[in-house]
Structure formats: C-alpha cells, structure tokens
Amino acid sequence: ETGVTQSPTHLIKTRGQQVTLRCSSQSGHNTVSWYQQALGQGPQFIFQYYREEENGRGNFPPRFSGLQFPNYSSELNVNALELDDSALYLCASGGRVSDTQYFGPGTRLTVL
C-alpha cells in the first residue's frame, strides 16, 4: 500500500505568479484535503474534495482553487501569489469524510 505523495518538494515563486501543487492519494482513499501550515503554527484547512466535488472550504480566498481527478489524485492552484502564501502545503487523504486523514510530506512554497 503506497502512502500519500506530493510534488514538488520545494518551490520558489515571485509575487503575482501562479503555482500548481500536486498530490497522489493513498490507495483506496476517496477524500483529499489540503492544508496550509505557516512556520510554528498548526495546519489550516483550505478545502476538501470527495469524489471530485468540493466538500467544504476554510477561510481562504477564491484565488486558492483545487481539483480532484478520477484516480483520486489532486491539484492545488494558487493565483496571484502573495508573500504571506509562503508556507508548507500539506495534502491529506482519507477513506470517507469523517475518517482519519493521512498526510503527505508537504510542498514548501517560498514567495519572494
């Protein structure tokens, strides 16, 4: 059984650019959630996808968007990057909406 994987590991962008982060869910999982973790803080929920539909969203602006594909892989897109978007972005997958979520290694995004 493979775990949750994310790519790329690290990314450096400049303010105003757009970025796409990718996640491959753990085998057999139907849900994928994205979190943003600033240094020294707990992860903050961005949104969750269940069977390719958005199933809840946190307090993030519309420039944060996502997709879930039939093979349960997922993308997080962020437009018009701001300096405060610099963080560790975490993807988590689970069997059902209320099940335990298993996290990937994260993507470290730096916005200059």
Residues that bind another protein (CB under 8 A): 4, 6, 31, 33, 35, 40-45, 48, 50, 55-56, 58, 88, 90, 92, 97-98, 100-106, 108
CA distance 110 to 76: 15
**Is 22 or 102 the residue whose CB approaches another protein more closely?**
102
Report in angstroms how near the CB of residue 63 gets to another protein at its nearest. 20
What order do you get walking across the sheet with 64-68 strand by strand? 5-7, 19-24, 73-78, 64-68
CA angle 34, 108, 92 (to 5 degrees): 25
- Six-digit token string for 108: 């470290």
Report in angstroms how near the CB of residue 103 gets to another protein at its nearest. 4
32: three-class secondary structure by DSSP? strand
**Is 15 or 99 the residue whose CB approaches another protein more closely?**
99
**Is 83 or 97 the residue whose CB approaches another protein more closely?**
97
Report in angstroms how near the CB of residue 84 gets to another protein at its nearest. 18
